[in-house]
Each structure stands twice: as structure tokens, then as C-alpha cells.
């Protein structure tokens, strides 16, 4: 029997993941990671973090509520754990999660579009959670992501692939996992359609069977990321002009953090026809807008690459995905020196955004990727 640390968010996916792992004969330890922004703020006094009553590891199954940092999601996770008869702990990762928040805010104020979900997976879910797994001598770490682990028939080498449910596939946000950790990852729900996961939860009588999926960034509780950024960078003025691609000034904006490349709605100007953000210039705080055709780019360069295979020494064919919700498209990739990557697309995609990740696939297998720095 293998001991498995499972990240339990209180949602239906990680809850069913717990059931599937128990069915497979694993010794499952459920862990809820306390890092929500409302928890951070609730533990603050005059803008400074006070001593929070949460311990790094709460004892006794986390079946008591902490006054400042309790969460209904943690309670949902605890109920599921009790139902399945597995231990359930809460880890206080607020200090670590502040790194995610700082990254998020810094990227927007620099005119880039961050992806905090990828960073959370890299630094916390498959970073700190492995540290915790090691501390309790657990062999595996598992999550409720819709992706799959596959072992090579020839040599048993693990690889990361897309989930069965293509509409829910989350392999893109897992590209940054360190390759040596793949052999210790378990992704039990990736072999199922989402509808089947809900059916399993309902059949087990789990209270989260019909719980809605989270649609927003977990720490931006009101869904307005620009307000979130401005509240944390009050000493920086990012307001400026809205200009067309030919340099015509057509309006003003309250801050570049309100915009991302490819954005159409909420531009704050009426052009008489659809216009999109084509570029953000943080030097002059300009938001450049143009027609859809001006969003198309044939190539990009990415930095800080991570590879889940041995990176090919020569240019290679792949499917490249430039956003979580974008389709992967045929391209030629070339690994450059200094941890960089060049992608040339067969057909130019629209809305390549600096700050987002580009991920390379061979069929359903994740090869690796990097962070878009230019187009």
C-alpha cells in the first residue's frame, strides 16, 4: 500500500480523486492548502500580517474552525474526508502564496498577462506539497487535475498527457512540473469525463456532487483583477493613453493592469467596429488597439523553459498552445540557448500575450514549454 498526499480543495474533482485512490488501495492523506486572499487579509492589522492562530499543520483532522481563517471549502473537504474515512489536514501556506500574489501584481503592472494557476502548481501544489509528502514519507502526490500520467511500454518512463475530457483538460497548467517528479504524480480523475466524476460523487452521497466549478482566480474574490492590482500598488500610476496601431490617440485608461492582449470588451472607447488590444507598452503606459487581423503573429519567443522530455537538439514539429483555453496549433519549435524557445506557427494565431505560457505537445503528450516574452 502506497501513501499518497492528495490536495483536497473541497471541490468535486479532488473529492472523487480521494475515493478513486482509496479504491485503488492507497493510504490517502487529504491536505487542504490554506492560502486564499480573504484568509491573508483576515489575518492582517493595518495592512500588516498579524500572528494568525493557524499552525503550519493543524492537528486532529482540522475538524475545528479557526476564527480568522476558516473557509467553507475546507469544511467541504473535511466532510468528504470523514465520509471516506481518511485523515484530513490543513496546511498554512499563506506566506508562500504571497509569492503568487506578488508575481500576479508585478506582471500586470509590467504590461504582461500572468498565469497564477501555472505558478501555483509549480511552487505550491507540486512544490511545497512534495515537501510535506517527504516529511510524512509519502511516495506520491495527487491532485484532481484533468490530465493523465502515462508510462512508456518500452522503458516505463512517465509522461504527462491530456485528460480524457478535452473540454476540461488541464495539462497546459501542469507543464512547469519538474521532470523528476513525474514518477511521483497521480492524477486519478484525468481518465474520466467530468459528467462521470459528478455521477460518482452523487452515487457516493458526497455533499459536493453538484458544487459549481471555480471560475475566477482564487485570490481575486470579487473577480476584478484590476482593482486587486491597484489596491496593492497604490504608489504606482499606470494610467495612460489608448492609441491605435497607427499612433492615433483615441482615449485614456485608468491603468494598464485592466488590459490583456486580445481583449475586446471593456476597452472604454467606441470605434464603430470591433477593436482589440494588440499591444501594451508599460514604458509609456499605452494600450494599443487594432482590428482583429492585427492580432495575428507568426512566431514567438519564450523564456524560462521547462521540459518534461529531453529537449530536442534540432528544430522539431509540435502542436503549440498559447493560452489555457486556446487550441493547440501546428508549429515548428526550436530550443535556444539560455533556457529559451522559439516557435514558428504554420498558421498565425491571434492574441499571443507576453506573460502567458506556450506549451508544446506531441499528440496528447506534454513535451514542455516556456513563458512568452515577445512576439
Q: What is the domain-level CATH number for residue 282?
A: 2.30.30.280
Looking at the fold, whether 249 and 306 belong to one and the same domain comes out as no
Distance CA 49, CA 98 (A): 11
Cα 204 versus chain centre, distance: 29
Classify residue 212: in a domain, yes or no: no
> Please, what is the angle between helix 225-232 and helix 94-109, to 10°?
100
In 3-state terms the chain splits into helix, strand, coil percentages (rounded to 5) of: 30, 30, 40
Q: How far apart, in Å, do the first and last CA atoms of the chain sit?
A: 49
Task: Give the β-pairing of 240-244 and 249-253.
Answer: antiparallel
Distance CA 281, CA 69 (A): 39
Looking at the fold, whether 195 and 289 belong to one and the same domain comes out as no
Catalytic residue positions, numbered: 120, 218
Domain that holds residue 158: 3-203
Three-class DSSP category at 345: strand
* pLDDT of res. 212: 87
Looking at the fold, whether 166 and 275 belong to one and the same domain comes out as no
**Gyration radius of the chain over CA positions:** 22
Looking at the fold, whether 259 and 313 belong to one and the same domain comes out as no
Looking at the fold, whether 289 and 319 belong to one and the same domain comes out as no
Looking at the fold, whether 121 and 100 belong to one and the same domain comes out as yes
Looking at the fold, whether 335 and 253 belong to one and the same domain comes out as no
Write down the pTM of the prediction. 0.88
> The domain that contains 121 carries what CATH number?
3.40.50.620
- Contact predicate 33/48, CB 8 Å: no
* pLDDT of res. 223: 77
Q: Please name the residue that has the C-alpha cell 471541490.
A: 11
pLDDT tens digit string along 225-252? 999 999 999 899 999 999 999 999 999 9
pLDDT tens digit string along 20-35? 999 999 999 999 988 6
Weakly modelled stretches of the chain, pLDDT under 70? 35-71, 215-216, 375
Classify residue 89: in a domain, yes or no: yes
Amino acid at each position: 500500500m502506497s501513501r499518497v498526499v492528495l490536495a483536497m480543495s473541497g471541490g468535486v474533482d479532488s473529492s472523487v480523486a480521494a475515493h478513486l485512490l482509496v479504491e485503488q488501495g492507497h493510504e490517502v492523506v487529504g491536505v487542504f492548502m490554506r492560502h486564499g486572499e480573504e484568509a491573508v487579509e483576515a489575518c492582517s492589522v493595518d495592512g500588516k500580517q498579524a500572528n494568525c492562530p493557524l499552525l503550519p499543520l493543524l492537528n486532529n483532522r482540522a475538524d475545528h474552525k479557526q476564527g480568522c481563517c476558516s473557509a467553507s471549502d475546507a469544511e467541504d473537504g473535511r466532510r468528504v474526508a470523514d465520509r471516506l474515512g481518511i485523515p484530513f489536514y490543513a496546511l498554512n501556506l499563506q506566506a508562500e502564496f504571497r509569492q503568487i500574489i506578488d508575481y500576479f501584481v508585478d506582471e500586470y503592472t509590467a504590461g504582461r498577462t500572468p498565469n497564477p494557476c501555472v505558478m501555483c502548481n509549480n511552487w505550491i501544489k507540486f512544490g511545497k506539497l512534495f515537501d510535506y509528502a517527504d516529511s510524512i514519507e509519502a511516495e506520491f502526490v495527487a491532485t484532481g487535475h484533468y490530465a493523465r500520467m502515462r508510462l512508456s511500454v518500452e522503458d516505463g518512463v512517465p509522461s504527462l498527457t491530456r485528460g480524457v475530457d478535452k473540454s476540461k483538460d488541464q495539462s497546459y497548467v501542469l507543464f512547469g512540473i519538474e521532470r523528476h517528479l513525474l514518477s511521483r504524480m497521480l492524477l486519478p480523475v484525468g481518465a474520466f469525463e467530468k459528467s462521470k466524476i459528478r455521477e460518482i460523487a452523487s452515487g457516493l452521497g458526497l455533499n459536493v456532487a453538484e458544487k459549481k466549478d471555480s471560475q475566477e482566480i482564487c485570490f481575486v474574490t470579487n473577480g476584478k483583477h484590476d482593482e486587486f492590482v491597484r489596491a496593492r500598488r497604490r504608489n504606482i500610476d499606470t494610467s495612460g493613453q489608448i492609441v491605435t496601431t497607427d499612433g492615433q490617440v483615441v482615449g485614456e485608461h485608468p491603468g494598464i493592469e485592466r488590459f490583456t492582449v486580445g481583449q475586446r470588451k471593456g476597452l472604454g472607447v467606441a470605434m464603430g467596429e470591433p477593436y482589440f488590444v494588440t499591444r501594451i507598452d508599460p514604458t509609456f503606459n499605452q494600450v494599443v488597439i487594432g482590428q482583429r487581423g492585427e492580432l495575428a503573429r507568426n512566431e514567438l519567443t519564450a523564456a524560462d523553459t521547462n521540459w518534461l522530455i529531453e529537449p530536442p537538439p534540432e528544430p522539431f514539429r509540435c502542436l503549440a498552445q498559447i493560452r489555457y483555453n486556446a487550441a493547440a496549433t501546428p508549429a515548428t519549435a526550436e530550443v535556444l540557448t539560455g533556457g529559451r524557445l522559439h516557435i514558428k506557427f504554420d498558421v498565425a494565431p491571434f492574441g499571443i500575450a507576453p506573460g502567458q505560457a506556450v506549451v508544446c505537445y506531441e499528440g496528447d503528450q506534454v513535451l514542455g514549454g516556456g513563458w512568452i516574452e515577445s512576439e
